[in-house]
Amino acid sequence: MQPTPRQAEERRITSHSPPAYIPPVSQRGLTSQTRVHTSSSLPLPFYPAFLLLHSQRPDRHTPPRSTSAHGTSKKDRSREEGRSMASSVGGDAGEGEWLKVAELRAMAGAQDPHVKEVDNLTLRRFLRARGHDVGKASALLLKFVAWRREAVPGGVGAVMPAELVRAEPSRELASMGGVDRAGRPVLLAFPAKHFSANRDMAGFKRLVVYLLDSVCARIPRGQDKFIVVVDLKGWGYANCDVRAYVAAIEIMQSYYPERLGKALMVHVPYIFMKAWKMVYPFIDANTRDKFVFVDNKSLEGALRREMDESQVPEMYGGKLPIAPLTDD
């Protein structure tokens, strides 16, 4: 008796030898047209090989993530570094800004190993000073590190020693005031105590660095800036020193970025404006907006808007005594 066509097909299938290697079966990745249905009457090993191989292909739209030797992706590692920095340092920066700080440290550190001596808050100020452009901030930071190593004994992490400025003729140029209503320290500057005829530029620059180091050391956690009251009472031609003024501004802008909060110019004589016109072009746009000229009639009110009465110096009708900064 001849078998029917259906019986012949069933005998052919059951007598077929299974392949030597059967890939593991996965339903994942199969389309509705190619998905294997286990409820089918055909034995699983005899499904076309391309169906089984298709189930093992990775999704072409989700490329494998780049991982480190410890199995952590570079992106995740960067995010973790940003979160760690944000939680340990704090402040008003977000995780994205701290990621840029880490990028700045890596970029500048590859060119100068002394960058490791610079703390993260300082890096953030350099980053903000250049509009979060990491390349520009790196150039400014490298310039700062090279300058600091040469200008200050002890290098990047040190401060200007007081003994190096005690002999400076303009050592009484500034005093330390109190704090403003935000808790930022107030520096008092008296340009009339500086005489151009007695000025030694190298010594004057050391004094400027000492004054800036001293006031910055008083900035509390959570704040980045200080205020300066520039009192020009008694200022005359003998005190006019445009070169020294420009040098002081360049030091502050290049090496202490994002430190100046506001500069109140008080008791300003008319003749000073001639010197100011020569200095003004050397002040960058962001710093220019921080200089506020206060007329004599508005002085008391302006100071009390910035400071509590207990923090206004006695010479301006307040209760705070002041002492020369170099006596610290």
Q: What is the pLDDT of residue 62?
A: 42
Give the per-residue pLDDT at 167.
83
Name the nearest CA neighbour of 248 among 291, 198, 276, 206.
206
Residue burial 186-209, b: 16+ Cβ < 10 Å; e: rest: bbbbbbbbbeeeebeeebbbbbbb
Entry pTM: 0.72
Domains recognised in the chain with CATH numbers = 75-151 (1.10.8), 162-327 (3.40.525.10)
User: Which pLDDT score, from 0 to 100, does residue 272 have?
Assistant: 97
pLDDT in tens, the chain (328 residues): 566 666 665 565 555 545 444 455 444 444 444 444 444 444 444 444 434 444 444 444 444 444 444 455 544 554 555 555 544 444 455 789 999 999 999 999 999 999 999 999 999 999 999 999 999 999 999 999 999 999 999 999 899 999 999 888 887 889 999 999 999 999 999 999 999 999 999 999 999 999 999 999 999 999 999 999 999 999 999 999 999 999 999 999 999 999 999 999 999 999 999 999 999 999 999 899 999 999 999 999 999 999 999 999 999 999 999 876 655 4
Q: What is the pLDDT of residue 7?
A: 64
What does the pLDDT read at residue 60? 42
Give the distance, in angstroms, between the CA of residue 298 and the centroid of all CA atoms in the same chain: 36
Place of tokens 């980053």: 127
